[in-house]
Amino acid sequence: MFEIIGFLAAILTTISFLPQAVKIIKTKDTSSISLTMYVIFTTGVLCWLVYGIHILNWAVLLANGVTAIFSIIILTYKLIDVINERSSAKTK
Amino acid sequence: MFEIIGFLAAILTTISFLPQAVKIIKTKDTSSISLTMYVIFTTGVLCWLVYGIHILNWAVLLANGVTAIFSIIILTYKLIDVINERSSAKTK
């Protein structure tokens, strides 16, 4: 029973970033997304991946590998927006 | 060395939600935040908490307890926006 809750917890926190990535790809809007959050979060997930490789734990590797993909997509879109905003602010 | 990376991973993925919560509290803007993400993510974090209580692992409890607070704040702001949008759409 509790093993199922643990498994569900891992699945839910991993796939949760998919709808956020899809929303950003569709709307191209990242205005209320925190750049700081995704810089820190992506770094953290990449640390989990390094740790997962070290302890050779496939659950850690799979969960964080999937999360890393979504997180990097969100971070990339946010970074593009931040760079575009700064360059347009310069030309004003 | 690798234990430090694992510890850093846990700290970074936990605190990363703080700047997102602060940004939303300051700007009151949740337009590009995915409601689906925070419903799924908050449910997942609460499952982690239940699992953490079961296995009595303080690292799991602490990390997910802190994340739950930030995640619930973000979800609450998003829900308020969604409810307000729907009620204003009805009056139009």
Closest residue, chain B, to A22 (C-alpha): B34
Query: CB distance from B13 to chain A under 8 Å?
Result: yes
Count A/B contacts: CB-CB distance under 8 Å: 129
How many domains does the structure of chain A reveal?
1
Give the integer Cα–Cα distance in Å for A12 and A9: 5
- Here the ipTM equals 0.91
pLDDT in tens, A36-88: 999 999 999 999 999 999 999 998 899 999 999 999 999 999 999 999 999 98
Domain around A6:
2-91
Q: Is the torsion defined by CA of A73, A78, A79, A84 positive or negative?
A: positive
- CATH code of B42's domain: 1.20.1280.290
Query: CB distance from A53 to chain B under 8 Å?
Result: no
> Which residues in chain B have their CB less than 8 angstroms from residue A11's CB?
44
Nearest to A67 by CA among A3, A6, A31, A16: A16
Mutate one of A4, A5, A24, A32 to test the B interface: name it (highest B CB count within 10 A).
A32
Of the partner residues B2, B17, B44, the one whose CB lies closest to the CB of residue A51: B2
User: Which residues does B44 contact at the CB level (< 8 Å), separation at least 6?
Assistant: A8, A9, A10, A11, A12, A13, A14, A16
Task: Check CB contact under 8 Å for A6 and B37.
Answer: no
Cite the DSSP H helix spans in chain B.
2-15, 17-27, 35-55, 58-91
What pLDDT, on the 0 to 100 scale, is given for residue B84? 94
The pLDDT-based confidence of A2 (bands split at 50, 70, 90) is confident
What's CA B77's distance to the chain center, in Å?
11
How many CB atoms sit inside 10 A of residue B7's CB? 13
The pLDDT-based confidence of A1 (bands split at 50, 70, 90) is confident
